[in-house]
Structure 1
Amino acid sequence: MTILYISISGNTRSFAKRLQEYAEQQHTSDSQNPLIQLKEIHENFPLETEQDPFFVFVPTYLEGGNGVDNGDQEILTESMREYLAFGDNFRKCLGVVGSGNKNFNRQYCLTAKQYAAQFDFPFLADYELRGTSADLETIYTILKNSTD
Structure 2
Amino acid sequence: MINLLVLYHSLTGNVERFVNRLNLNCVKIEKDLIMIEPYILITYTTGFGEVPRPVKDFLTLNGHFIKGVIGSGNINWGKHFCGAAETISKQYDVPLLHKFEQSGNANDVEKIKQEVLNIV
Which residue of structure 2 lines up, in the alignment, with residue 40 of structure 1? 28
CA RMSD of aligned residues (A): 1.4
What's the offset of the Cα at 1:115? 0.9
| Alignment-derived partner of residue 75 in structure 2 | 102
Q: 1:13 maps to which residue?
A: 16
* Long gaps (5+) in structure 2: none
**Counterpart Cα distance in 2 of 1:128 and 1:107:** 12
Q: Which amino acid aligns with 1:38?
A: C
Structure 2: distance between partners of 1:104 and 1:122: 22
Corresponding residue of 2:43: 58
Contact 1:81 1:115 in 2 (8 A): no
What TM-score, normalized to structure 2?
Answer: 0.90
Of 2, 5, 11, the residue aligned with 1:2 is: 5
The number of residue pairs the alignment matches comes to 117
Q: Distance in 2 between matches of 1:145 and 1:120?
A: 17
Aligned to 2:55: 80
The runs of at least 4 aligned residues of structure 1 exceeding 2 Å deviation read none
- The alpha carbon displacement at 1:41 in A equals 1.4
Q: Distance in 2 between matches of 1:78 and 1:19?
A: 25
**Bigger RCO of structures 1 and 2 (CA < 8 A, at least 6 apart):** 2
Identity over aligned residues, as a percent? 29
Distance 2:99 2:45 in 1: 11
2-structure distance, mates of 1:38, 1:145: 16
Distance 1:136 1:142 in 2: 10
Specify every segment of 5 or more residues in structure 1 that has no aligned partner in the other structure, as ranges. Answer: 21-35
1:47, 1:131 → 2: CA distance? 26
Q: Which letter maps to 1:60?
A: T
Structure (1 or 2) with the larger CA radius of gyration: 1
Conserved? CA contact 1:4–1:40, under 8 Å: yes
Q: Contact 1:4 / 1:38 at 8 angstroms: preserved in 2?
A: yes
1:33 is matched with which residue? none
Aligned to 1:143: 116
SS across alignment from 2:7? strand
